[in-house]
């Protein structure tokens, strides 16, 4: 049997944004970062003042991290338009079929890389503020900033190593929906969902409206980093900017399977994947 060619899935009006092109913001951020790195390198090489050289070194080291942060910001607003990552998975065993919509694959390693860079820059700056500028007026300020960057970056890497911060995904099962975000998990039964909405808040979200008091399992994996979406329970809130698939496809799939309970039997094999990848969700 040949899989039908996919047709276009329209984005809801709530997600359509107007403003400056993201590439223009990215280009400006990269240009400023390059200028900062060049200026920092010049100050470090040309001056004999320990404090000025320290600030120059900090600027030179921090600029590539800022450039990478700008790249993350750009990628964050890019919406993947492919459904090829949708797959059949098994959460508890072969008799527990499910369909998974993963978060973007680049997101987790990108943040790990950024945290590693932040740890290196923060540690070097912290040592430099103590060794090179112990009596300079700006020394304590630089040391405090470097300490904060080192601490936050180190915490993120430790949390990732302990699996407290992990890649997310949205999983559809015959009887429930499971949302694993960065730092928490939420599970709700289909029968307790009253509506599937698209909202503009937070850069665009998919919201599963849940009956009051009917929220299923909720499990925060860390108490340090609290995502806004966790505080909005009992509703299940999925930010579209993190998804590795077209958010409109996930929205359409949630609405289709919510309105058609019998169709959830497709989760046991490829029919659901074929339906989703072909966008036959009306």
pLDDT number for residue 1: 44
Cα(177)–Cα(81) distance, integer angstroms: 22
Cα(41)–Cα(94) distance, integer angstroms: 58
Which residues, including other chains, have CB under 8 Å from residue 254's CB and lie 6 or more apart? 172, 177, 196, 206, 208
Sheet holding 236-239, edge to edge: 193-199, 205-210, 236-239
Q: Which candidate, 38, 18, 30, places its Cα nearest to that of 67?
A: 30
Fold (topology level) of 87-104+167-278: PH-domain like (2.30.29)
pLDDT number for residue 207: 93
pLDDT number for residue 143: 77
Q: Which residue has the tokens 């665009």?
A: 204
Q: Which stretches of the chain score pLDDT less than 50? A: 1, 4, 79-81
Cα(11)–Cα(198) distance, integer angstroms: 9
pLDDT number for residue 117: 79
Total-model pTM: 0.70
User: Read out DSSP for 180-245?
Assistant: E-SSEEEEEEGGGEEEEEEE-GGG-EEEEEE-TT----EEES-SS---HHHHTTTSEEEEGGGBSS
| Beta bridge mates, 103 | 243
Hey, where are the domains in the chain? 13-78+106-161, 87-104+167-278
């Amino acid at each position: 049997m040949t899989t039908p060619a996919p047709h276009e899935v329209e984005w809801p009006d709530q997600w359509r944004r107007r403003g400056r092109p993201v590439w223009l913001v990215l280009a400006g951020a990269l240009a400023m970062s390059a200028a900062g790195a060049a200026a920092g390198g010049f100050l470090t090489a040309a001056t004999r003042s320990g404090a000025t050289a320290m600030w120059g070194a900090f600027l030179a080291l921090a600029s590539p991290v800022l450039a990478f942060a700008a790249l993350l910001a750009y990628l964050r607003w890019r919406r993947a338009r492919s459904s090829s990552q949708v797959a059949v998975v098994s959460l508890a065993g072969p008799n527990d079929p499910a369909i998974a919509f993963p978060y973007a694959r680049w997101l987790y390693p990108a943040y790990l890389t950024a945290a590693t860079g932040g740890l290196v820059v923060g540690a070097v700056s912290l040592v430099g503020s103590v060794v090179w500028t112990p009596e300079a007026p700006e020394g304590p300020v630089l040391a405090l900033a470097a300490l904060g960057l080192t601490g936050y970056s180190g915490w993120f890497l430790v949390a990732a190593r302990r699996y407290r911060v992990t890649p997310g995904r949205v999983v559809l099962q015959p009887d429930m929906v499971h949302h694993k975000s960065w730092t928490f998990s939420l599970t709700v039964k289909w029968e307790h969902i009253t509506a599937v909405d698209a909202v503009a808040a937070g850069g665009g979200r998919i919201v599963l409206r849940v009956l009051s008091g009917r929220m299923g399992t909720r499990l925060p994996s860390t108490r340090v980093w609290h995502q806004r979406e966790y505080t909005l329970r009992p509703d299940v809130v999925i930010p579209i900017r993190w998804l590795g698939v077209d958010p409109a496809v996930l929205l359409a799939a949630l609405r289709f399977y919510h309105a058609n309970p019998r169709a959830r039997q497709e989760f046991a094999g490829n029919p659901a994947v074929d339906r989703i990848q072909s966008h036959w969700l009306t």
